[in-house]
Chain A
Amino acid sequence: MSQCDSPDLKQRLAPILQKHGRDPTKVLQILREIQDTAHCICGQSIDLIAEHLDLPRVRVAGVAGFYSFLAGGQACGEYRVLFSDNITDHMLGKAELMDYFSKKLWLEPGKVSEDGLVSVDSTSCTGMCDQGPAALVNGMPLTNLDENCLDLICELIRSRKPVSDWPPMLFEVQDNILRKDVLLGEAFEPGAALKATLARGPRETWAEVDKSNLRGRGGAGFKTASKWSFCHAAIAEEEGHVVCDIGDRAERIMVCNADEGEPGTFKDRVLLNSYADLVFEGMTVGARVVGARRGFLYLRGEYAYMLGKLEGVLQQRREKGLLGKNILGEQGFDFDIEIHLGAGAYICGEESALIESLEGKRGRPRNRPPFPVTHGYLGHPTVVDNVETFACAAKIALHGGEWFAAMGTGQSAGTKILSISGDCERRGIYEYPFGTTIRQILQDCGAEDPYAVQVSGPSGTTISWKEFDRMIAFEDLATAGAFMIFKRGRDLFQMARNFSHFFAHESCGFCTPCRVGTTLMQRIMDKIDGGHGTASDLEEMKNLGQLLKTMSHCGLGTSAANPVLDTLNKFPDVYEQKLKALAFEPAFDLDGALATARRITGRDDKEAHLGAES
């Protein structure tokens, strides 16, 4: 906006550029800060960044155009209000509230007000499903929105009060922990797991993690001890043998994946808010085991409000000698953690896209193999683990592998934290031993007349009421933690349609099957929703789903069709009710699409209309 045109742009950007030095991996962090201060990223800022970092201009522009919080070259209002678009927000009245708010501000969603003051839009799930409808205003989370709240927010915006001076109650985020087990239940003394690790030794600690059968909590369930040992082995202790191809410069990197983008998941938010020490300690234990000196926390842009608090925890840990040089007095045990902020891209939860993003690039998934454990961040052997995995690792270091392996089921040791939202009385965080049935969980959270559950978010599985005796475990229903409940009477078609929009928006655009396939899927769902659906559309979606599953470059594409295929399979009636005819129907309203031309030409003759019989 006008601020970008100002001649002193260079001076205003100077402090941001200076702060980050000439490190090209900082592109995303620099762009984020410019977006926050100037409310847009203009061509001139991109020129300045490219010059400062000695990068091609397209590299910088490419990053600016990729992340939805950066909004490319488009301007945003001084106040940017983004409503969370998850199905659980919709069930709590998101669409009506957004409409109410936009009308009150005389605004069209997606556009900036004439005076540049405010813009309103939707954004993918902000991770507040237990306290929705939710939104973000200039990166700060708004929860439990209702018309009264929005009236107040309108007033605050109109009076141009800085967001930092808004009443804190607007930004209250509850943990809502409703069931605790070993991870959340026990008090944790910072440093205890590290002391145990040092006493036991790195190899022995690895053996405990191995014995524990800990598997990754991000959903895929890869065995953590194997990942750690691959990373360790990529640079052999003995001279000479290096698997990764960057030679002697190679060092090992620990990355904590806190890009919790899967709609309906919010457990990492709670872990980082109230158990950050446990998570950071798990990373440090891992660093000791694999021999890493550098670590990153990749924090999703939606959780940027926690940045200050987390930096504080890291600082405290440095002061206590739990991070930094010679940790707990152990000579040569150096490790520190840097926080890297995302900017609204679901794809960055995929580990190789996350690493690209850490390097300051577009979040495009890499070809695998080689895997990050040998060729990761800037080519270094890199471990990427979920927030909860690190929390488990800290506990295992403290209590030993057998203790952990004794909980859960045969193939799924330990506990799992679930983020429960949707139609139930008590939404929030529940920690269960693996093997707990859906029925038990539904009973505990007070779900009334449950009809379906979306386990592990849009990329997961839709469970019908007939399957409530299935259990949370890698051998049955693997999950990253999302658990969205739908009562009888909810329109599951709208759930699947919401998810199809989510995937079409979040596809990174790199491979054609996913870029085109997710959009075609979204269009057919909209066609059916608009009353133009036919039986052949359902067949087309099945074919499209198969193509997405088999031809996509990464997990986003391969799982993007899941909600549509699952609901088609388990709830065919929700589609059939909406079909207009079994024969073919046009995808759009033929007569309606002539209305503009009728208005311009003033025609209303027979040839200017297309009836059903035409």
Chain B
Amino acid sequence: MSENKKIRVATCSLAGCFGCHMSLLDIDEKLLTLLELIEFDRTPLTDIKHCSPCDVGLIEGGVCNAENVHVLKEFRKNCKVLVAVGSCAITGGIPAMRNNIGLWECFQEVYQFEGGLEGGQVPNDPELPLPFDKVHPIYEVVNVDYFLPGCPPPADAIWKFLTDLLAGREPKLEYEMLHYD
């Protein structure tokens, strides 16, 4: 495949832990093969700040604040195929555990009670992304084309998924790649 026909891939982590990105790196030596097939656009690996038109967008993490919405919508606008990668993007995951706790209680715990930050004040700096009442899965905010499950999805599953997609096949994961015990 010639250099200028490489598939463009963008990735980001919203309300996630970067574990899914770590799993992507866990493809190990196959990363070299992968890099012959794809090139990265906006991703924490390239440090490109904004998306340009891409073929595939991989989203890790759910939507917990206003900035996440901007990023997610930018990805949707630019990526032909958008993939929710991992439990948090698919269901909200661990960050969504705060959904049963009121936002005020969360803020109090973080900023006001003993061991808190910011001198006992809830910060109001416009630089800080404003949090939602609850953490949402990304499909509630944009249309999602594929869901790649796992916490994180195993490196082999990411590899299989991407190579299927690159080969123009409907991605299909065997049972072994979808059970986690």
Contacts and interface: CB of A to CB of B under 8 A. Distances in A.
A588 B134 CA distance: 11
Interface in B83-101: none
A608 B126 contact: yes
B126 A597 contact: no
B22 interface: no
A601 B66 CA distance: 14
A608 B142 CA distance: 20
A584 B103 CA distance: 28
A603 B141 contact: no
Nearest to A536: B143
Given A594-B66, A596-B103, A614-B73, A603 B130 contact: yes
Contact of B136 (A588, A596, A597): A588
Contacts of A593: 132-134
A104 interface: no
A594 B126 CA distance: 13
Contact of B142 (A584, A594, A597, A603): A584
A467 B124 CA distance: 61
Interface residues on B, range: 20 to 34
Interface residues on A, range: 20 to 34
Interface in B121-177: 122-124, 126, 129-134, 136, 140-143
Given A590-B69, A593-B134, A600 B103 contact: yes
Contact of A603 (B70, B107, B126, B136): B126
* Chain B interface mostly: mixed
B132 A601 contact: no
A597 B103 contact: yes
A12 B134 CA distance: 44
Given A594-B66, A608-B130, A614-B70, A601 B140 contact: no
Given A584-B143, A593-B132, A603-B130, A610 B122 contact: no
B180 interface: no
Interface string B73-84: 100100000000
Nearest to A588: B140
Contacts of A536: 143
Contact of B122 (A590, A601, A605): A601
A598 to B, nearest CB: 7
Interface in A572-614: 584, 586-588, 590, 593-598, 600-603, 605-610, 614
Contact of B66 (A584, A596, A607): A607
A610 B131 CA distance: 12
B124 A601 contact: yes
Nearest to B107: A600
B124 A587 contact: no
A608 B133 CA distance: 13
Interface in A195-213: none
Interface in B42-78: 66-67, 69-70, 73, 76
Interface of B: 66-67, 69-70, 73, 76, 102-104, 107, 122-124, 126, 129-134, 136, 140-143
7 contacts: A584-B142, A586-B141, A588-B136, A594-B132, A597-B131, A600-B103, A607-B126
Interface of A: 536, 584, 586-588, 590, 593-598, 600-603, 605-610, 614
Given A600-B103, A601-B122, 17 more contacts: A536-B143, A584-B76, A587-B141, A588-B140, A598-B130, A600-B104, A600-B122, A601-B130, A602-B124, A603-B124, A607-B67, A607-B126, A607-B129, A607-B130, A610-B69, A614-B70, A614-B73
